[in-house]
Chains A and B, each alone.
Chain A
Amino acid sequence: MVCLTELSAKALTDSASVDYSELMDSLANGVIILNRSGQVIFANDWICDHVEGWQENFQGKTLLEMFPNQVSSHLVEAISDACELQLGRILSFQFHHNLLPLIRVTPAGVIQDLNVTILLKPLMRSGLTLLQCQDMTNSVKREQHLKANEKILRTERKALEMIATGSTLDDVSNTLCTTLEALLIGARVALLMLDDNRHGLSVLSAPAFPDAFKVFVSAFEVAPNMGTCRQALLYKKLVVSENVTNDPSWITQDQAIETFSLQSCWAMPILSARNDAIGVLVIYPENYSVPDALQKSLIDRIARLGAIAFERHQHIERINYLAMHDSLTGLANRSLLSEHLHRNLHRAQREKQRFALLFIDLDKFKWINDNHGHDAGDDVLLIVAQRLIKKLRSTDICARIGGDEFVVMLESISNTEAAVMVAESLCELIKEPIKWGNAELNVSASIGISLFPEDGNSADALLNRADDAMYKAKDLGKDRCVRLQASE
């Protein structure tokens, strides 16, 4: 402590001998001192190092004399206001891009333009003016990073809100693509989804591309190593092709490369929570380029949002499916049947057409369950369902509405006989023996038929009528089709 105090005391007494020019030269900012006529009377080392073509014999010259065509008129005017009128000035780099011919050499040896803000401070006592150059390059970089991050955060929030409030997958995808396009200036972005068979890709969103792009994507070779997107799906990481025109995995795609003016292709797989590739986020930048660290992290974040949106969409689809289908057989359940029945009723009324309901109840089903176990029963239901589906037209609906109860809606029929014929053929089909291990299971069906408009003009009336007819079929000895007479 004593030592330090002594030292500082010595420093104080020696202050008169401080070398101010050395001090100035060690500053990280540029300093120029100007006299009343705007002539330079001092410039520190920073200025000599950073002003391109700074003259050694600068003293007594104005900046305009030294750099006749390179000093901005705004700076000349501000210097004259400061030196002659003693008005303090700031010239922000944001309003002025080329005040002085300034350059810097980066640690990597690259020559860059400098962003500087210039301050002109009239020194009241001496009448001189202090010109200070503040290097803003790092501040600008920091700010750009911050702003880019803010933008990403805003995008994430918007996308998450959209997902949480149930926007459609199309809307969310479009938002993700357009936002990424806004963040990666000049780039075109598309979201591709892997088809259910996991071979084909289809376009979910490609706002910057014409419709023909969809055809190109879906027609792209299915081979796993073709194209950047497929490699991304395969390797489950970002794959970058800097130049698609000489990329072997893009061979045979010259036509598309030309049509869509493709240069580079960056493909980021969209991975599910279970790490399955479910789609690709693909970026086609404006020039031949590879993504930098910031762009990579941006792409990664957008791809994660894509994954959330995809998975959420799939969950909702699954929930909707489960709400409308029988989980064992995959047939429509009572709700979906009711929906179709009402729709068909309106259509038939409007078009004055006829349609039929077949109420099917399996005979001896309880016996199979009791004697062969529930697995056997389930198998029987599954096989019966498959046989029904195979026999029916795609416009007909087959639903399982209870344990061993099925309802078939024949969407339109020409006459009563046609309905009876279908019912009888279904009866025969169900009767075909079913192999269960070494055993052979035999079931039959009792089918009740009701027709619109003869047997009722509402969904409930038609269903009840078919149900009653089914019971009549049971009463008459099962394994048959019955339609009640008008008087019954």
Chain B
Amino acid sequence: MFSPDEHDLIVELMNLGVGRAASALSQLIGDEVLLSVPAVDFIPLSEAQDSFHSQLPECLAGVLQNFNGFVSGRAVLLFPEERSFELLEAMLGVEAGEFDQSELELEALTELGNILLNNCLATISNQLGESLQTDIPEAFTTNSSDLSTRLNLFDQSFTEASILLVNIDFSLKDKALQGHLIFLVDLSSKEPFLKSLQRYIGGLLD
């Protein structure tokens, strides 16, 4: 669907966005947060279920944000459920609890995901000179088998969609964990998106 150049550009933009998110998070908690993107994969909608199964941990905590603009879709940050709360506890400097899935911790996770997703999406749209709106984020917990349902992957609004699966390495103090970003892109809005990418690549070549 994407040419090698376009693919590289998306990876590049993703790295840039994640870098900005890292500095925003560092500023938020007053301690260094390191983020890196070791892998980016494009997956057709039909293979999503299998990919989620094979690539994601069983129990997941996530933050979902819808976006609209020159390209539309859903952005999701996913963490292995247990580790995500460890990370939050480290960020908030609170003592580790036994039952981690509390309403309040889920809310803190929402902001963490919000900052990450907004930075990624805003960086992409800024770089491409386009505009993009994001809705307020919502947090949830699920498991890898139910994820497709949770994300409404197969509802009517996405007859034509593609999935961008981004692995993201997170490290803070002595904690390190891998999270995943999923961008579910509505391909009915493919044209303006592709055009923006090509224009940007064209600009680079000029």
Smallest beta-carbon distance A142→chain B, Å = 9
B37-45, B46-54, B105-113, B141-149 - interface stretch = B105-113
Q: How many residues of A contact B (CB 8 A)?
A: 26
Max chain A Cβ within 10 angstroms of own Cβ: one of B28, B114, B121? B114
Residue B118 contacts which of A81, A92, A143 (CB distance < 8 angstroms)? A81
Residue A88 contacts which of B28, B104, B134 (CB distance < 8 angstroms)? B134
A114-122, A250-258, A319-327 - interface stretch = A114-122
A74 close to chain B: CB less than 8 A: yes
B79-87, B94-102, B158-166, B184-192 - interface stretch = B94-102
A382 close to chain B: CB less than 8 A: no
A242 to B159, CA, bound (A): 71
Chain B's interface size range is 20 to 34
Smallest beta-carbon distance B122→chain A, Å = 6
B57 close to chain A: CB less than 8 A: no
Max chain B Cβ within 10 angstroms of own Cβ: one of A85, A92, A136? A92
Within 103-123 of A, Cβ neighbours of B (below 8 Å) are at 117, 119-122
Max chain A Cβ within 10 angstroms of own Cβ: one of B108, B133, B137? B133
Smallest beta-carbon distance A352→chain B, Å = 61
- Docked-complex contact B107 and A88, CB < 8 angstroms: no
Residues of B within 8 A of A90 (CB): 107, 110-111, 114, 136-137
Residues of B within 8 A of A2 (CB): none
- Docked-complex contact A124 and B133, CB < 8 angstroms: yes
Within 119-139 of B, Cβ neighbours of A (below 8 Å) are at 121-122, 131-137
B176 close to chain A: CB less than 8 A: no
A143-B136 contact, Cβ under 8 Å, with A74-B28, A87-B122, A95-B108: no
Residues of A within 8 A of B103 (CB): 139, 143
Residues of B within 8 A of A143 (CB): 102-104
Smallest beta-carbon distance B29→chain A, Å = 7
In the complex, what residue of chain B is closest to A153 when comparing beta carbons? B98
Residues of B within 8 A of A89 (CB): 114, 118, 136
A86 close to chain B: CB less than 8 A: yes
Indicate with 1 or 0, residue by residue over A61-100, a CB within 8 angstroms of chain B CB atoms: 0000000000000100000010001111111101100000
A140 close to chain B: CB less than 8 A: yes
B152 close to chain A: CB less than 8 A: no
A366 close to chain B: CB less than 8 A: no
A85 to B67, CA, bound (A): 12
Smallest beta-carbon distance A245→chain B, Å = 34
Indicate with 1 or 0, residue by residue over A300-312, a CB within 8 angstroms of chain B CB atoms: 0000000000000
Max chain B Cβ within 10 angstroms of own Cβ: one of A85, A150, A154? A85
- Docked-complex contact A88 and B114, CB < 8 angstroms: yes
B68 close to chain A: CB less than 8 A: yes
Residues of A within 8 A of B29 (CB): 95
Residues of A within 8 A of B136 (CB): 88-90, 119-121
A95 to B118, CA, bound (A): 17
A91-B111 contact, Cβ under 8 Å, with A85-B122, A150-B97: yes
In the complex, what residue of chain A is closest to B114 when comparing beta carbons? A90
Residues of B within 8 A of A94 (CB): 92, 104, 107-108, 111
A147 close to chain B: CB less than 8 A: yes
B15 close to chain A: CB less than 8 A: no
A87-B107 contact, Cβ under 8 Å, with A81-B118, A95-B92, A150-B97: no
12 A-B pairs with CB atoms under 8 Å apart are A81-B122, A87-B133, A88-B134, A88-B136, A89-B118, A94-B107, A119-B136, A136-B104, A139-B103, A143-B104, A146-B102, A150-B99
A-side residues, CB < 8 A to B, are 74, 81, 85-92, 94-95, 117, 119-122, 124, 136, 139-140, 143, 146-147, 150, 154
For the A-B complex with A89-B136, A139-B103 known, give 18 more contacts whose Cβ atoms are closer than 8 Å: A85-B133, A86-B134, A87-B121, A87-B134, A90-B107, A90-B111, A91-B111, A92-B110, A94-B107, A94-B111, A117-B107, A119-B136, A121-B135, A122-B133, A122-B135, A143-B102, A150-B97, A150-B98
